[in-house]
């Protein structure tokens, strides 16, 4: 989740309108940016992943400007040629194949602009850039270097330069080990023989993407002309990121200039600020939104969301990353129309159908409740200690997670009795006798299944008290089976979790898919769960 | 079980003071002052001597009447040796505080119980009937047995059990989660929905890919999703569906731009614990061509550490409506009606983002008690990129709503662990929800 912080004053300047609490709190979020915090001087909004263009303060203000109607039509951006060339060598292909560049002239880097630029860069890196893996941005003082520029991949020891915020020269390998950014992002280049680098005419290093820029081209507040490089593994994302940056800087008064990118004989110019055209089917809009609307109104709504509309075609701005299908335009039309202005259509009642198994589930639960048991509900996730060791069992054949964040949740439970014992162990300060049950799911491995697992429904009940008698739980079981009309038979069983001579297998007549066990919990097991009162339990696997 | 008091021990050694006083007086009449010098515990000796009529006082002199009968000494002796003693004698000694009732220590009780269990000291049928606590031919397992480890010896003595014929109980109670789920099921069934169920362990294909979540989407990151080590991969469904999903991701089939990356079937095979029940909806869409209305209430998993706000499991309410003629207003209508039947009068809709829906909305309901709007989940219309590869040509309304949040709000609960983690029996017994 990306949250951006904006100075209220700066936002007002960019939007060109005074913005009261009400607008900030109620109106602006309806564009699709929930308010995170409203403070005296600043305001924070959450930006959804489909709108990286709103990660920049300028892009955010641009969206607000048309949404609030301060400006009727969105601004159109253009780039003139800078005459600068960047050569892309084949060596980058297997490392970081894509690059797009631009030049920004005559920008005044005020505190607001610098702050916003840094935030935009950081947020794009985190979201669209997938922590710099997919996209990374470098911004340079173009006055410090000479064109043409070269983008190539070199051996780590081959090139040395002074990285940003350091005093000494390091080679690329050393930067990954010593520079804080190098350490942080080294994993992106793991296993690569060559690392990407951007050089100028004289071999001076502008950038070692996606890690760090050179100290040489460091941007300070007195710099007016910038060179921007965006590199990455996804061409579309690289171009979008560049477009977001240059249009933001243009909103701050900078002039956008393009760079010629030469890849062998292939030549292109970046940034590409052309609007893409998309056809919009009016009947599609009307069918989905069911509002009284004509083409002219749709045009107004589209403009409110920053789109152009010409000759029946929607003009999609070059900084919008989210328009894949005309449904995306329909949503923006709905947002512009205002979700609050749609009258919900109340559905009529009908006759639906519950799962067949729910009847059995309800019957079992009701029976247990009648028999005096409190229903409990537990997590399906547990760990090997609870599931096996504490029960006196050896771990075998269970569903194990790969990346758990907590040692409490490493496997899926196979049985319910451990869950019930946990409940009893959490309730030692509560009144006894304690009679609890759970009818819940467990996950078992099953090679024949599509997912390699099967979900199973198990009923388990436990009684804990000062004095317990095995006969009582057998009697409960008997009553339950009578209520459910299930024929069963007990057979003496030896099981490490139960006391000898106080444990039986439950065999269900005519249903080999069902089975169970009943007994007095072994005192060692009780100790493992630090339960002091004698406890007995049963567990029945239900066939679904 | 009784034990001599310090006083009792002393008398057993030295004799009873009143008897010693009588002895002394028998030899010669002596003044009170003289006697006091010879006899310890003189005031006791005097009081009991007079009471037992062994001596009398005349003109400051102690006059002998008769010798003591040593009866209490004999009793003390018996207590000391652990022999049986008649009730009257016990009471007499107790009254004089020469013995005290020994509360058996845990070991001894357990020991006794053990001998009872193993039949050595088994009470007669008559005894059993007179003592309600052990009114069974069964073996009670007690806290003492567990604590002392003496249960180990039980093995020797356990005998088969006769099952008692009768049972008395008071009614138990349903968990609030069950109550609420029942209520929600009823609402959807009355609205004409068919209930679905699907697996907890799910392939990335059904959990993510079929829902048009790109394979490098942050939601698929290790941080949010439980991936599985054993088993680790699933079988993919029918090749036709897989190919269509792949095409949609890579270049949008012939309807969309797609995400524009190279889709991997290996990533799609990775097993996860489902992060939403929307996977169940996706499976259903592949099975049907519509129209239809389906819902699913089930446990979902997120890789979180446990605290008052987070649990790695919670319950989601998923619903889909597949129909030629439904649109955005129907979606809002279903949500409004659902929450109205659940008891929430005011609802509003905010723009939202999910990779698989467009429009995307977040329904929020109003809690009068707190004067607060609460976000309750997500909803939207499935993108064509989701429905087309699954063979659905109609719009599909969809939602995934939170079960626990409204309950917590209703009950004023701050800690989500109250539900699945703690199961506080006092709370569960007391709590009511409508």
Minimal Cβ distance to B171: which of A369, A430, A476? A369
Residue range B131-190, pLDDT digits in tens: 433 334 456 677 777 777 777 765 545 655 656 555 656 789 999 999 999 999 999 999
| Mean pLDDT for the stretch of residues B228-242 | 96
- The residue of chain A nearest to residue B353, with distances taken between CA atoms, is A48
Q: Give burial (CB, 10 Å; 0-12/13-18/19+) of B372.
A: exposed
8 Å CB contact of A452 and B301: no
Find where tokens 């597949």 sit.
Answer: B322
Q: Where in chain A is the domain with CATH 3.30.930.10?
A: 356-542
Give the count of beta carbons closer than 10 Å to the beta carbon of residue B122: 13
Q: Give burial (CB, 10 Å; 0-12/13-18/19+) of B132.
A: exposed
CB B284 within 8 A of CB B291: no
Q: What CATH number has the domain spanning A276-340?
A: 3.30.56.10
8 Å CB contact of A344 and B256: no
* pLDDT band per the 50, 70, 90 thresholds, residue A392: very high
The whole-number pLDDT of residue A16 equals: 96
Minimal Cβ distance to B138: which of A345, A379, A471? A471
Q: Does domain A356-542 have CATH number 3.90.1150.10?
A: no
Question: In sequence order, what DSSP letters do the residues of A254-283 get, joined into one string?
Answer: -EEEEEEEEETTEEEEE---PPEEEE--HH
In chain A, positions 501-520, which contact chain B (CB-CB < 8 Å)?
501-502, 520
Specify the 3-state DSSP secondary structure of A487: coil
A–B interface: beta-carbon pairs under 8 A:
339
Comparing C-alpha atoms, which of A140, A136, A163, A165 is closest to residue A218?
A: A140
Q: What CATH number has the domain spanning A80-270?
A: 3.50.40.10
Minimal Cβ distance to B146: which of A34, A402, A523? A523
Geometric angle at alpha carbon A204, from A203 and A209, rounded to 5°: 105
In chain A, positions 278-297, which contact chain B (CB-CB < 8 Å)?
287-290
8 Å CB contact of B163 and A474: yes
Specify the 3-state DSSP secondary structure of A248: helix
Minimal Cβ distance to B178: which of A375, A408, A472? A375
The whole-number pLDDT of residue A482 equals: 93
Minimal Cβ distance to A468: which of B140, B333, B423? B140
The whole-number pLDDT of residue B45 equals: 86
8 Å CB contact of A30 and B334: no
- Give yes or no for A380 touching B (CB within 8 A): yes
In chain A, positions 476-495, which contact chain B (CB-CB < 8 Å)?
476, 478-479
Minimal Cβ distance to B136: which of A379, A402, A471? A471
Q: Is the pLDDT of residue B349 over 90?
A: yes
8 Å CB contact of B303 and A403: yes
Phi, psi dihedrals of residue B381, rounded to the nearest 5°: -110, 125
pTM: 0.82
Contacts of residue B235, defined as CB under 8 A and 6 or more positions apart, other chains included, come to A450, B203, B269
> What is the least distance, in Å, from the CA of A89 to any CA of chain B?
23
- Give yes or no for A236 touching B (CB within 8 A): yes
The whole-number pLDDT of residue B110 equals: 56
* Proportion of chain A in helix, strand, coil states, percent, rounded to 5: 35, 30, 40
Minimal Cβ distance to B423: which of A331, A426, A454? A426
8 Å CB contact of B351 and A430: no
Comparing C-alpha atoms, which of B276, B428, B124, B407 is closest to residue A378?
A: B428
Contacts of residue B368, defined as CB under 8 A and 6 or more positions apart, other chains included, come to none
Find where tokens 């070269």 sit.
Answer: A150
* pLDDT band per the 50, 70, 90 thresholds, residue B123: very low
- The residue of chain A nearest to residue B236, with distances taken between CA atoms, is A450
Long-range contact set of residues A121-125: C-beta below 8 Å, sequence gap at least 24: A121/A245, A123/A2, A123/A4, A123/A47, A123/A52, A123/A55, A123/A56, A124/A52, A124/A55, A124/A241, A124/A244, A124/A245
Domain range B2-101, its CATH number among 1.20.81, 1.20.120, 1.10.150, 1.10.10: 1.10.10
Whether a cis peptide bond, with omega within 30° of 0, leads into B359 is yes
The whole-number pLDDT of residue B105 equals: 53
Q: Where in chain B is the domain with CATH 3.30.930.10?
A: 177-430
| Mean pLDDT for the stretch of residues B279-300 | 95
* pLDDT band per the 50, 70, 90 thresholds, residue B1: confident
| Mean pLDDT for the stretch of residues A162-180 | 95
Summary mean pLDDT of chain B: 85
CB A174 within 8 A of CB A186: no
- The residue of chain B nearest to residue A426, with distances taken between CA atoms, is B422
Specify the 3-state DSSP secondary structure of A240: helix
Residue range B44-95, pLDDT digits in tens: 888 888 888 898 888 888 888 888 888 888 899 888 888 888 888 888 888 8
Q: Give burial (CB, 10 Å; 0-12/13-18/19+) of B426.
A: exposed
Q: Are strands A149-154 and A80-88 parallel, antiparallel or unpaired?
A: parallel
The whole-number pLDDT of residue A435 equals: 96
| Mean pLDDT for the stretch of residues A211-239 | 96
- Give yes or no for A534 touching B (CB within 8 A): yes
- The residue of chain A nearest to residue B273, with distances taken between CA atoms, is A401
| Mean pLDDT for the stretch of residues A268-282 | 95
Comparing C-alpha atoms, which of A146, A254, A258 is closest to residue A202?
A: A146
Q: Where in chain A is the domain with CATH 3.30.56.10?
A: 2-67, 276-340
The whole-number pLDDT of residue B116 equals: 47
User: Could you give the CA distance from residue B180 to residue A228 in angstroms, rounded to a whole number?
Assistant: 56
Contacts of residue A222, defined as CB under 8 A and 6 or more positions apart, other chains included, come to A109
- The residue of chain B nearest to residue A326, with distances taken between CA atoms, is B256
CB B369 within 8 A of CB A361: no
Comparing C-alpha atoms, which of B130, B121, B128, B71 is closest to residue B96?
A: B71
The whole-number pLDDT of residue B189 equals: 98
> What is the least distance, in Å, from the CA of A139 to any CA of chain B?
26
Minimal Cβ distance to A345: which of B164, B256, B329? B329
Minimal Cβ distance to A324: which of B149, B256, B328? B256
> What is the least distance, in Å, from the CA of A239 to any CA of chain B?
13
CB B428 within 8 A of CB A374: yes
Q: What CATH number has the domain spanning B177-430?
A: 3.30.930.10
Q: Describe the strand order of the beta sheet including A453-464 as a list of residue ranges.
A: A374-375, A434-445, A453-464, A535-542, A515-521, A498-508, A488-492
> What is the least distance, in Å, from the CA of B156 to any CA of chain A?
10
- Give yes or no for A325 touching B (CB within 8 A): yes
- The residue of chain A nearest to residue B271, with distances taken between CA atoms, is A451
The whole-number pLDDT of residue A377 equals: 96
- The residue of chain A nearest to residue B177, with distances taken between CA atoms, is A377
Q: Is the pLDDT of residue B332 over 50?
A: yes
- Give yes or no for A425 touching B (CB within 8 A): no
- Give yes or no for A117 touching B (CB within 8 A): no
Q: Choosing among A453, A466, A481, which should be mutated to test the B contact, i.e. which has the most B CBs within 10 A?
A: A453
Tokens coding A335: 């947002």
> What is the least distance, in Å, from the CA of A406 to any CA of chain B?
6
8 Å CB contact of B424 and A430: yes
8 Å CB contact of B293 and A527: no
The whole-number pLDDT of residue B134 equals: 36
Geometric angle at alpha carbon A184, from A89 and A139, rounded to 5°: 50
- Give yes or no for B348 touching A (CB within 8 A): yes
User: Could you give the CA distance from residue B267 to residue B343 in angstroms, rounded to a whole number?
Assistant: 43
In chain A, positions 173-212, which contact chain B (CB-CB < 8 Å)?
none
In chain A, residues with a C-beta closer than 8 Å to the C-beta of B174 are 365, 369, 375
Residue range A99-136, pLDDT digits in tens: 999 999 999 999 999 999 999 999 999 999 999 999 99
Minimal Cβ distance to A325: which of B195, B333, B384? B384
Across-strand partners of A441?
Answer: A457
Phi-psi sector, A199: left (phi>0), alpha (psi -120 to 50), beta = beta
- Give yes or no for B391 touching A (CB within 8 A): no
> What is the least distance, in Å, from the CA of B198 to any CA of chain A?
9
The whole-number pLDDT of residue B365 equals: 94
> What is the least distance, in Å, from the CA of B367 to any CA of chain A?
18
Minimal Cβ distance to B171: which of A340, A370, A469? A370
Helix/strand/coil (H/E/C) assignment for every residue in A167-182: CCCEEHHHHHHHCHHH
| Mean pLDDT for the stretch of residues A470-494 | 94
Specify the 3-state DSSP secondary structure of B231: coil
Q: Where in chain B is the domain with CATH 1.10.10?
A: 2-101
Helix axis angle for A57-67 and A235-251, nearest 10°, is: 70
The size of chain B, in residues, is 434
Q: Does domain A2-67 have CATH number 1.10.3720.10?
A: no
Find where tokens 């002998």 sit.
Answer: B64
């Amino acid at each position: 989740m990306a949250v951006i912080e904006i100075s209220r004053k700066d936002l007002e300047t960019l939007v060109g309108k005074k913005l009261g609490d009400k607008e900030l709190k109620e109106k602006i979020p309806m564009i699709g940016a929930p308010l995170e915090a409203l403070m005296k001087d600043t305001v924070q909004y959450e930006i959804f992943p489909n709108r990286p263009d709103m990660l920049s303060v300028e892009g955010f203000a641009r969206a607000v400007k048309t949404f609030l109607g301060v400006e009727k039509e969105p601004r159109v951006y253009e780039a003139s040629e800078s005459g600068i060339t960047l050569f892309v060598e084949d060596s980058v292909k297997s490392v970081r194949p894509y690059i797009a560049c631009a030049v920004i002239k005559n920008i005044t880097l005020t505190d607001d602009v610098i702050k916003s630029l840094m935030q935009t860069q950081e947020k794009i890196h985190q979201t669209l850039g997938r922590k710099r893996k997919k996209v990374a941005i470098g911004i340079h003082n173009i006055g410090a270097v000479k064109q043409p520029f070269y983008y190539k991949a070199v051996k780590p020891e081959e090139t040395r330069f002074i990285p940003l915020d350091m005093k000494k020269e390091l080679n690329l390998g050393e930067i990954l080990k010593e520079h804080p950014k190098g350490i942080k992002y080294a994993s992106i280049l793991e296993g690569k023989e060559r690392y990407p680098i951007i050089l100028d005419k004289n071999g001076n290093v502008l950038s070692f993407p996606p890690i760090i820029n050179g100290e040489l081209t460091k941007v300070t507040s007195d710099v007016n002309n910038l060179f921007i490089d965006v590199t990455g593994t996804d061409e579309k994302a690289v171009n979008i990121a560049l477009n977001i940056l240059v249009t933001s800087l243009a909103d701050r008064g900078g002039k956008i200039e393009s760079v010629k990118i030469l890849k062998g004989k292939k030549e292109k110019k970046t940034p590409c600020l052309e609007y893409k055209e998309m056809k919009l089917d009016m009947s599609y809009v009307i069918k989905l939104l069911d509002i009284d609307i004509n083409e002219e109104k749709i045009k107004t709504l589209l403009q409110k969301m920053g789109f152009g509309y010409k000759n029946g075609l929607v003009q999609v701005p070059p900084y919008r990353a989210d328009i894949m299908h005309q449904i995306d335009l329909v949503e923006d039309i709905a947002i512009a129309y205002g979700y609050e202005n749609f009258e919900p259509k109340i559905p009529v009642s009908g006759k639906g159908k519950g799962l067949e198994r729910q009847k059995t589930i309800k019957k079992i639960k009701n029976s247990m409740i009648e028999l005096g048991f409190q229903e409990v509900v537990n997590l399906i996730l547990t760990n090997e200690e609870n599931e096996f060791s504490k029960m006196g069992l050896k771990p075998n054949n269970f569903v194990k997670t790969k990346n758990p964040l907590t040692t409490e949740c490493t496997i899926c439970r196979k049985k319910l009795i451990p869950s019930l014992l946990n409940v009893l162990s959490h309730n030692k300060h509560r009144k006894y006798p304690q009679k609890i049950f759970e009818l819940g799911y467990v996950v078992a491995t099953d090679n024949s299944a599509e997912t390699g697992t099967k979900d199973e429904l198990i009923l388990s009940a436990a009684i804990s008290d000062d004095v317990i008698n095995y006969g009582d739980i057998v009697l409960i079981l008997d009553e339950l089976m009578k209520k459910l009309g299930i024929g069963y038979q007990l057979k003496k069983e030896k099981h490490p979790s139960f006391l000898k001579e106080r444990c039986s297998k439950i065999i269900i007549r005519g249903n080999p898919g069902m089975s169970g066990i009943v007994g007095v919990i072994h005192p060692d097991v009780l100790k493992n769960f630090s339960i002091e009162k004698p406890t007995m339990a049963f567990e029945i696997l239900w066939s679904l | 079980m009784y034990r001599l008091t310090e006083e009792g021990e002393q008398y057993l050694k030295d004799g009873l003071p009143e008897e010693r006083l009588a002895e002394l007086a028998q030899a010669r009449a002596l003044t009170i002052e003289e006697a006091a010098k010879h006899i310890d515990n003189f005031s006791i000796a005097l009081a009991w001597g007079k009471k037992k009529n062994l001596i009398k006082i005349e003109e400051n002199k102690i006059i002998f009447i008769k010798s003591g009968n040593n009866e209490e000494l004999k009793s003390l002796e018996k207590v000391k040796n652990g022999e049986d003693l008649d009730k009257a004698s016990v009471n007499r000694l107790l009254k004089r505080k020469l013995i005290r009732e020994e509360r058996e220590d845990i070991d001894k009780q357990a020991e006794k119980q053990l001998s009872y269990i193993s039949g050595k000291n088994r009470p007669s049928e008559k005894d059993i009937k007179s003592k309600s606590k052990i009114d069974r031919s069964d073996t009670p397992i007690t806290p003492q047995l567990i604590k002392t480890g003496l249960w180990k010896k039980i093995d020797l003595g356990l005998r088969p059990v006769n099952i008692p014929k009768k049972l008395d109980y008071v009614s138990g109670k349903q968990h609030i989660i069950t109550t609420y789920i029942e209520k929600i099921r009823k609402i959807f069934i009355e609205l004409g929905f068919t209930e679905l169920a699907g697996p907890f362990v799910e392939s990335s294909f059904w959990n993510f890919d079929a829902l048009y979540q790109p394979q490098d989407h942050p939601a698929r990151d290790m941080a949010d999703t439980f991936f599985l080590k054993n088993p680790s991969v699933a079988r993919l469904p029918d090749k036709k569906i897989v190919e269509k999903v792949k095409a949609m991701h890579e270049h949008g089939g012939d309807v969309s731009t797609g995400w524009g990356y190279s889709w991997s079937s290996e990533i799609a095979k990775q097993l996860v614990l489902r992060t939403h029940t929307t996977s169940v909806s996706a499976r259903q869409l592949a099975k049907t061509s519509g129209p239809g209305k389906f819902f699913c209430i089930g446990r979902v998993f997120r890789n979180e550490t446990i605290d008052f706000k987070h649990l790695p499991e919670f319950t989601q309410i998923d619903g889909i409506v597949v129909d030629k003629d439904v649109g955005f207003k129907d979606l809002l209508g279903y949500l409004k009606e659902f929450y109205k039947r659940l008891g929430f009068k005011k609802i509003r809709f905010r723009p939202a983002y999910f990779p698989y829906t467009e429009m995307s909305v977040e329904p929020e309901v109003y809690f009068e008690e707190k004067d607060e709007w609460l976000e309750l989940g997500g909803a939207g219309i499935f993108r064509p990129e989701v429905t087309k590869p699954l063979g659905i040509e109609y719009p599909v309304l969809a939602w995934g709503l939170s079960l626990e949040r409204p309950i917590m709000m209703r009950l004023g609960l701050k800690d989500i662990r109250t539900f699945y983690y703690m199961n506080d029996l006092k709370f569960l017994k007391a709590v009511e929800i409508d």
